[in-house]
Structure 1
Amino acid sequence: MHSKTDIKLLVVDIDGTIAGHSNKISQGVKNAIQQVKLLGVQVAVATGRMYRSALRFHLEIGSTLPLIAYQGAWIQDPASNKIHRHYPVNRATAIQLLDYFEQPELRELLSVHFYINDELYVRSITRETHIYAKRSNITPIAVGDLRLCLDNEPTKILALCDDTDVINNLLGNLRRQYTPAELYLTTSVATFFEATNPLVNKGVAVKYLAEELLGIESNNVMTIGDNFNDIEMLQYAGTGVAMGGAPSQVKEQANWVAPTVENDGVAAAINKFILA
């Protein structure tokens, strides 16, 4: 067990971790994070969200570190606007994925999102896209053919489908086609298939913040997350906490399982490991 002085960096996911159905951070979680900062512990956000969709959460918890967005494909410091890292998906791979998504049996089932220069491009505004855009508070740009916007390489590619079996099959099939050295494939929620550059995951990003920017080791880091895209950062940290709502495979990778997001699990974890 760590004494409370051991943890120098706390990294939290957003959706399902600090923000639940309401899409807001509860007062209890905000208070716990403020207490952590008073002890001199640094706090950061690591999310699959777009940078500008994640920004209000970063500001709300008063983080002074760079913000880890798009699973770590985009790391930017909001204070200086400096982009520390940007690892997009190469154009050829993006086109291959699009070809795959547009097979006749998949085309009608999937809403495909390309994230380019922190903008969201879609073929058309589907119901799923509309719900996603509302939660993210961004305006998607409908282009018809996504190949038209590939002058710049996408930071992330997302395929949404309400049928989780479709997403699981997609993940399985594409994991057979691409090695981890070619693409990082994950799900952030059961209905979101996500693809990023192979150098990217939240674990690599948190390691960058801890070791390169702060000069601390993994055992000084605590991470809290709730889904498959959080596994790498839970494994990296000396203290990895899974939320109560996490899938069992994610909980298995954690040192401790917190209450759910609706029961202020992050505050409980902070109390246990940092404030206790």
Structure 2
Amino acid sequence: MITTTLLKTSRVLGSTLLVGGLLLSGAAQAQIATPAASPKSTVQQRVGLTDITITYSRPGVKGRPIFGDSTTKAITPFGQRWRTGANSTTSIKFSDDVTVEGKKVPAGEYGLYTIPGKTSWVVVLNKSLKQGADVKGFKDADDVARFTVKPYALANKVETFTMEFSDLTPATANVEMLWDKTGAKFKVTTDVDTKVMAQIDEKVVKNASASANDMAAAAVYYYDNNKDLKQALTWIQKANEKDAKFWNVHTEAKIRMKMKDYKGTVAAAEQSKKLAAEAKNTDYVKMNEGLIADAKKAGKL
């Protein structure tokens, strides 16, 4: 009995020591989590109907010289290719075909490389996403676009490298690269018109039972982009016949105003004003009042 008990006790102790050893081994191998020196960031922007996504790592100035010639010991020397961030190559992804600084770029994801200079920067979009600063592995033949932009001085120092979108329009945006006291940017243009016109063709032009909302949207697009105003007027009138909303009747008034049909403008604006007042929308009441005054003055009514 004593021998059996000792054997059982020995086995239990052995198992306990084994488990304890494994736990200690796992704890010893686990790494302490600390903040990254150059944290990874992703910025995304819809430009027109196209999504643009940039993924990059953000190094800090930390008292170092950033851009400069060989005498400054800059960490990003003039004339040398830079991965446009830290750790790995910055990537830029387009959901549709775009134009970047006049260069056609197919939909896809690319490495975004730059060659900073004192008076100009070369920006390169390359099929490779893994080359970083490795000159040997980089292939110019894999370039999708290469262009030159001018750097500019920043009014305020940017401690952490930053990429952002600015100057947004319905079809364009600038991509800005900001670090220390220097900035550089390039323009991306998307093809909005082709896509919208294709939708209008499908949902309105070729659809005998087009909805009031689709016809109104088509009319607004034609109005905003100075397309066929007679066609825009036809669509908005049909939309208003189906369902007269004060904002759509106001659109009819604006189209008539642009066509210099001042009496028609006043009539449509008066109707829109009445509908807006019934809906207690004071903003549209005021807009219609302003449009009525402008039409009466232009038409000497």
**TM-score (norm. length: structure 1):** 0.24
**Whose RCO is larger (CA < 8 A, sep 6+)?**
1
Look at both structures and tell me which one has the larger radius of gyration over its CA atoms.
2
Q: Identify, as 1 or 2, the structure richer in strand.
A: 2
